[in-house]
Amino acid sequence: MNPWRGLRGLPREVWLVCASTLINRLGTMALPFLVLYLTEGRRWTPAEAGYGMMIYGAGALTAGPFSGRLADRLGHVHVLKASLWSSGALLLILPFASTKPLLFALIFLWAGLTQAFWPSAMALLTGLAAPEQRKAVFALHRLAVNLGMAVGPAAGGLIAHHSYRWVFWTDGLSTLAGAALLSLLLKAQPTPDLPHDHAPGGSPWRDRHLLFLLLPFIPALMVFFQIEGTLPLWVVRDLGLGSRFFGILFTVNTLLIVALEVPLNLAMGHWRHGRLLLLGSLCLAVGFGLTAWATSYAMLIVTTVIWTFGEMILFPAMSDAVATLAPPDRRGEYMGLLSLAFAAALALGPWLGVLAYAKAGPRSVWLATFLIAGAAGLLLARFRTPGAPAPKG
């Protein structure tokens, strides 16, 4: 039996969005190497680099409440294109910033422009497919993201070894290439057919089910985003294993996702959301917690495999849960709040992780990640989709 059969029959527009995302992600390397760029390329302290990551997260956080609503009003495709064109251009000029305030301002703007992409893409993909196809659509989109990430960070490790500026320029050029593909081939945005008696959806801020879902998701994400903060410091600076090996860890992560995420999620499609969210969070807890004892190439690869399974289970389940809750005319806003959760975790996670890393030491940080992700998983396990039938499995 073909485990990929769930991808058959997806609309052409889904494949175009995913192809654009793939091209963009093939060059994605600036954010994973931002901490190293600031500490090694700019000679900043780890604490200053942590503030740089906080600035990026703050920019994404600021854009979160508006980008989804803007996409619902202006059209998801228009916002997608604008985000890619503008963020790609900004990446080309960011390395020329000569002062710390200017660099902080550009990082903030870069984050906000990039953030506008995700609510639009997720809302568009939600509306393009029937409910029974959504897991396959989200899995395919993440496949595109992570297939690109199999190349981007690994190539970034090689490029960073010679020039950090070219890390940003390569990322910018790939983003512009994705924008060009989308602009050429995706001319009009399909609109969902709503029933005649459809009533406008309410604000996602008043949806208690959504807030109950997202609030415990943020600390789990804060643990995951140590890949942008404390993990590179642990691997490159403290263990001395080099930026190229750090890029290889991303490649291991991505190759697992490319090979297993679609079949894994299709196989677990009958599982209730709470069960999937718990399992994904526990994998994050164990994977990052064991990093306290990961001092060799082999052990770091093992921990990467464990938290990668958490990512493969947790993120598609969360996207599908939010899509299930979202009214058709509020999909951008609901996905905007999901993106806001990612942005909040990105603003807080690496920053707090680096500060704790400097004050309490790396092993204390890794043990804390175990406790935080585990507790978040226990809360997420209680989530039930309103009106859903009792699960069989």
Cα gap 300→294, rounded to integer Å: 5
Burial (0-12, 13-18, 19+ Cβ within 10 Å), 214: buried
* Highest-scoring range by mean pLDDT, 176-185, 307-316, 377-386: 307-316
Domain spans, the chain: 9-188+207-380
Closest CA to 220 of 281, 274, 275, 273: 281
More confident site: 371 or 329: 371
Pick the CATH number of 9-188+207-380 from 3.30.70.270, 1.20.1250.20, 1.10.645.10, 3.90.650.10: 1.20.1250.20
* Max avg pLDDT among 68-72, 337-341, 365-369: 365-369
Number of Cβ atoms within 10 Å of the Cβ of 245: 16
**The pLDDT of residue 314:** 94
Write the pLDDT tens digit of every residue in 231-243: 999 998 888 898 8
Burial of 73 (C-beta count, 10 Å sphere; 0-12/13-18/19+): exposed
For the chain, give the mean pLDDT.
Answer: 83
pLDDT in tens, 200-233: 566 788 888 899 999 999 999 999 999 988 999 9
Q: Residue 308: what pLDDT?
A: 95
Give residue 330's pLDDT.
Answer: 81
Length of the chain counted residue by residue: 393
* pLDDT higher than threshold 50 for residue 393: no
Residue range 343-358, pLDDT digits in tens: 788 778 988 999 999 8
The maximal CA–CA distance of the chain, rounded, in angstroms, is 63
Nearest of 165, 53, 172, 72 to residue 114 by alpha carbon: 172
C-alpha 192: how far from chain center? 26
Q: Does 269 have pLDDT greater than 90?
A: no
Residue 268's φ and ψ, nearest 5 degrees, are -100, 20
Q: Report how many helices (DSSP H) and strands (DSSP E) the chain contains, helices first.
A: 16, 0
Based on its alpha-carbon atoms, the radius of gyration of the chain, rounded to whole angstroms, reads: 20
Question: Which pTM value belongs to this model?
Answer: 0.75
Say which residue the tokens 């939010």 belong to.
322
Residue-wise pLDDT for 149-196, tens only, equals 667 777 777 887 778 888 889 888 888 988 888 888 776 554 444 444
Higher pLDDT pick, 372 / 103: 372
- The 10s digit of each residue's pLDDT in 79-136 is 888 888 988 899 999 988 888 889 889 999 988 888 888 888 888 888 887 777 777 7
| 273, 383 Cβ separation under 8 angstroms | yes
| Residue 256 near residue 381, CB atoms below 8 Å | no
pLDDT reported for residue 6: 65
Residue with the larger pLDDT of the pair 148 and 286: 286
Q: Which residues of 331-350 are buried (b: 16+ CB within 10 A; e: fewer)?
A: bbbbbbbbbbbbbbbbbbbb
